[in-house]
Amino acid sequence: MKLIIRGLQLSAACQMVCRMNPILLGIRRATALAIVMASTAVPLHAQTSPAERPFRAGAAAANITPWMGVSINGNMTDHKGASVHDQLHARAIVLDDGQTRLAIVVADSCMIYRETFDAAKKLVRERTGLPAENILMSATHTHSGPASASVFQSDANPEYQHFLTLRLADAVQQAIANLAPAQIGWGVGSEPRHVSNRRWRMKPGVLIQDVWGNTNDVVKMNPKPGSPELLEPAGPTDPEVPVLAVQSPDGKPIALLANYSMHYVGGVPGGTYSADYFGAFCDRIQELLGADRQDPPFVALMSNGTSGDCNCMNFREAPKPEAAFVKIRRVANDLADDALGVWRKIQWHDRVELKSAQKEIQLAVRKASADELARARALLSTAKKTNGQYGGWGPEVYAREWLLLDEFPDRVPLVIQTFKIGELGIAAIPCEVFVEIGLEIKKHSPLKPSFTIELANGYNGYLPTPAQHKLGGYETWRARSSYLEVDAATKIFDTVMELFARVK
Ligand SMILES: [Zn+2]
């Protein structure tokens, strides 16, 4: 309360602006866009020192559900959207310590290109002055969302990409409009029941074939659960559930950002749009916090951690039949219970320091050789399609990927970013990051706790470690879903550490 009072005891000039500006008084009007512009203009506060300004937070969700007929990506074959199970959202949280403003957006999408994120950030900058390096935007990796990136046999829909750009920007702008005095806190829960490493070593003598029929792979992705041929998982898991929370000074929930290193639940029928467990978690935690129908609305965000090699299948046992949305809800409810436990123990701060750092790095693209390209062309010259598509896991799909990947530049730029929120660190990486990398980031970050949001600020395919590259398996097979140089993980990890050192 002390901070609010202090926040209102601004200079005479600022008080006058505040009287005209309901946002600065904490009376929030999401539709007052003109006022948003004013609230972000630094000169309004020119006569107040940062320490005198209240810490503020705002949150908003923009609906990004597409119309029917847009391709759904995340599978080897394409499906067109024909029904909506649950609405898709771009969910935003904005924090403001009086000096620095940070925005985090989590969008219900399988993956989103950097071009789309950059265009949305440009709009935010034009409308509110918030620079791109202070905005972290990510995709959840639902496999039942509209294609805003082209992978395997699903092509990005340009009309939807444009719509998504506008809505990503709107989410941030609306969250800024909702800025109000806030307390902030964080904590880390744990939910080990829904994380498994999906890459397995098989017992000696078991044949592991790649999509071309080669037998060089040492691991198999998603082997048959309960199979007697299973030896052991080829990597660890990360059961942590980091939570960042903001509430009003009188204890009304404003937003909760969670993070979990689990790919997706899936099993959603082809042609159905759904936000998977990410959206179901947001609904459930809102219900548990008693934050339904607030004004402005409470917003929850579930970001994807480092789940390139981890999903929620229990490979040790043959699965019991369970409908997709029943399982999605079960996983989401368990995670929400855990996040609620963290919320209840949070130590609230009246203010924390906010910082951001980002860097662009260039990484080489793993392209097919001339011989391999000739082989791919020969294969496709006689390949047959059914309903306009190649068979799901056949070599034709990969032959096509090799040819499409050959059109990529030899090196690609990636944005790596870190945020400091008090003592909490967040790393943002534009890949499907292997869990080992996330665990190393948590261990070596100077900020404790730290976590990673993957598929952030762009999309550059899987990010296995060099050691996992040697084991082979689906996530290493060259395609638009996996094309960065073998040492990419090392270079990205070093960059994350460099950026954490800059913000710490
Ligand atoms: Zn995936």
| Mean pLDDT, all residues of the chain | 91
| Interval between CA 263 and ligand 1 midpoint (Å) | 6
104: its two tokens: 């985090």
Is 404 exposed, middle or buried (CB count within 10 Å of its CB: 0-12, 13-18, 19+)? middle
29: its two tokens: 């009007």
353 phi/psi in degrees, rounded to 5: -85, 140
pLDDT tier at 200 (50, 70, 90 boundaries)? very high
Q: What stretches of 191-328 adopt beta strand conformation (E)?
A: 196-197, 199-202, 219-221, 230-233, 240-247, 253-260, 272-273, 299-304, 310-311
Domain ranges of the chain: 1-54, 55-194+235-354, 368-406
The CA distance from 20 to 165, in Å, is: 31
| Interval between CA 265 and ligand 1 midpoint (Å) | 10
| Interval between CA 3 and ligand 1 midpoint (Å) | 44
| Interval between CA 309 and ligand 1 midpoint (Å) | 9
H/E element holding 278? helix 276-288
pLDDT tier at 28 (50, 70, 90 boundaries)? very low
| Interval between CA 481 and ligand 1 midpoint (Å) | 9
Other beta carbons less than 10 A from residue 431's beta carbon: 26
| Interval between CA 262 and ligand 1 midpoint (Å) | 10
Q: What is the per-residue pLDDT across 10-22, written as a single tens digit (0 to 9) for each?
A: 333 333 333 333 3
pLDDT above 70 covers a percentage of the chain that reads 90
pLDDT at res. 32: 37
pLDDT tier at 23 (50, 70, 90 boundaries)? very low
R_g (Cα) of the chain, nearest Å? 23
Other beta carbons less than 10 A from residue 329's beta carbon: 18
- Yes or no: say if 481 and 402 are a contact pair by the CB < 8 Å rule: no
| Interval between CA 324 and ligand 1 midpoint (Å) | 16
| Interval between CA 92 and ligand 1 midpoint (Å) | 23
- Yes or no: say if 272 and 359 are a contact pair by the CB < 8 Å rule: no
pLDDT higher than 50, residue 31: no
| Interval between CA 253 and ligand 1 midpoint (Å) | 32
- Yes or no: say if 201 and 229 are a contact pair by the CB < 8 Å rule: no
| Interval between CA 83 and ligand 1 midpoint (Å) | 21
| Interval between CA 264 and ligand 1 midpoint (Å) | 7
Helical H runs in 108-236?
114-128, 158-177
- Give the residue from 49, 98, 227, 88 showing the smallest Cα distance to 171: 88
| Interval between CA 269 and ligand 1 midpoint (Å) | 16
361 phi/psi in degrees, rounded to 5: -120, 155
- Give the residue from 395, 490, 406, 499 showing the smallest Cα distance to 447: 499
- Give the residue from 186, 190, 188 showing the smallest Cα distance to 238: 190
58 phi/psi in degrees, rounded to 5: -145, 155
Q: What is the per-residue pLDDT across 426-452, written as a single tens digit (0 to 9) for each?
A: 999 999 999 999 999 999 999 999 999
| Interval between CA 66 and ligand 1 midpoint (Å) | 20
Tell me the C-alpha to C-alpha distance, in Å, between residue 493 and each of 190, 345, 421, 475, 501. 24, 31, 20, 19, 12
DSSP string, 453-472: EESBSS---EE--HHHHHH-
pLDDT higher than 50, residue 422: yes
| Interval between CA 143 and ligand 1 midpoint (Å) | 7
Q: Which residue has the tokens 């007052």?
A: 32
Over range 265-290, report the average pLDDT.
Answer: 97
Q: State the amino acid at position 180 in one-letter form.
A: A
| pTM for this model (two decimals) | 0.90
H/E element holding 180? strand 180-181
pLDDT above 90 covers a percentage of the chain that reads 87
| Interval between CA 74 and ligand 1 midpoint (Å) | 6
| Interval between CA 169 and ligand 1 midpoint (Å) | 25
- Yes or no: say if 135 and 180 are a contact pair by the CB < 8 Å rule: no
3-state secondary structure of 125: helix
| Interval between CA 432 and ligand 1 midpoint (Å) | 8
| Interval between CA 194 and ligand 1 midpoint (Å) | 16
| Interval between CA 97 and ligand 1 midpoint (Å) | 36
Q: What is the per-residue pLDDT across 338-376, written as a single tens digit (0 to 9) for each?
A: 999 999 999 999 999 999 999 999 999 999 999 999 999
HSE, side-chain direction, 13 A CA sphere, residue 200? 25
| Interval between CA 386 and ligand 1 midpoint (Å) | 24
| Interval between CA 389 and ligand 1 midpoint (Å) | 20
| Interval between CA 475 and ligand 1 midpoint (Å) | 10
pLDDT higher than 60, residue 26: no
| Interval between CA 37 and ligand 1 midpoint (Å) | 38
pLDDT higher than 50, residue 36: no
- For the chain, the first-to-last Cα distance in angstroms comes to 28
| Interval between CA 283 and ligand 1 midpoint (Å) | 22
Q: What is the per-residue pLDDT across 113-151, written as a single tens digit (0 to 9) for each?
A: 999 999 999 999 999 999 999 999 999 999 999 999 999
| Interval between CA 58 and ligand 1 midpoint (Å) | 30
